[in-house]
Amino acid sequence: MPELPEVETVRVGLQPAMEGARFDAVALRRGDLRFPLQQDFAARLTGQSVIGLGRRAKYLLADLSSGDVLLMHLGMSGSLRVMEGSVETTPGSFHYARCADRAHDHVVFAMSTGKTVVFNDPRRFGYMKVFPRAAIQDEPFLKGLGPEPLGNAFDAEMLARVCAGKSVSLKAMLLGQRAVAGLGNIYACEVLFRAQLDPTHPAAVLADPSGAPTGAAERLVMSIRTVLAEAIAAGGSSLRDESYRQTSGELGYFQHSFQVYDREGERCLRKGCRGTIVRFNQNNRSTFWCPNCQR
């Protein structure tokens, strides 16, 4: 599933086609994605302009001139591509074709820029919703999300406060979205490796008896910020041809910088470490780590 860096890359790719543009037409090829689309979904978008295109955790949020917000989630296999006529705009040098079956083009936005934004989702795990911006604090999809990991509110003190006394594992804490938003399985493995932390340790190790952040909390915050920044700069990660792609059609290439993820049985890349990367099942997800240097 696309994580924060992938969604941020999609947001940036969509900006030229959507931000400041009007929805001239909205075509729904089916009445549901992961969840049923609202009956007035197309009507609430048509004729409205996108005054800002943002991101919250793994969600894309388009603020509309009407005061509504269009929430978009890519799910497991969803992608948004920008078309000009029948040709994708600005295809990159690392270009691969998307899903060839146009039967999976479920939602089509015709924008006043003359470009078309198409949501394709073979598995239909993605979803969209329109709701009033004034009600965003109560929106179920967004309520309870932790701070943005690249924002000012996220620091070691906050992380220690949230995790003090918690027995849940560090990996589960990162995936839970309440302590910090936007990380999924791939980046949780990577940031724990960078911070040299055992993914099975309880989250309580991030706070000392007084509740102050430990060195582990400081390292983890720095690791999260560094890994996500690098991944955004690289355009996200693509594990196979049908997985995440940028709106331009490019595959993200942060996967070439993975230090533990999907490297089971390979030598640890940390300088001076002679360990081997191990994979094990943790909370029904594959965890990759180096038992030798992640303590």
143 given a catalytic annotation: no
Catalytic residue, candidates 264, 285, 291, 295: 285
Cα angle for residues 109, 114, 115 (degrees, 5° grid):
50
Q: Give the span between the Cα atoms of 268 and 135, in whole angstroms.
A: 47
Helix axes 156-163, 215-234, angle to 10 degrees: 120
Residues 6+ positions from 215 with CB-CB distance below 8 Å: none
Pairing of strands 79-84, 87-88: antiparallel
Catalytic residue, candidates 3, 6, 19, 88: 3
Q: Give the span between the Cα atoms of 177 and 242, in whole angstroms.
A: 26
* 3-state secondary structure labels for all residues of 90-103: CCCCCECCCCCCHH
Catalytic residue, candidates 2, 147, 149, 213: 2
Catalytic residue, candidates 56, 58, 129, 245: 58
149 given a catalytic annotation: no
3 given a catalytic annotation: yes
Catalytic (active-site) positions: 2-3, 58, 285
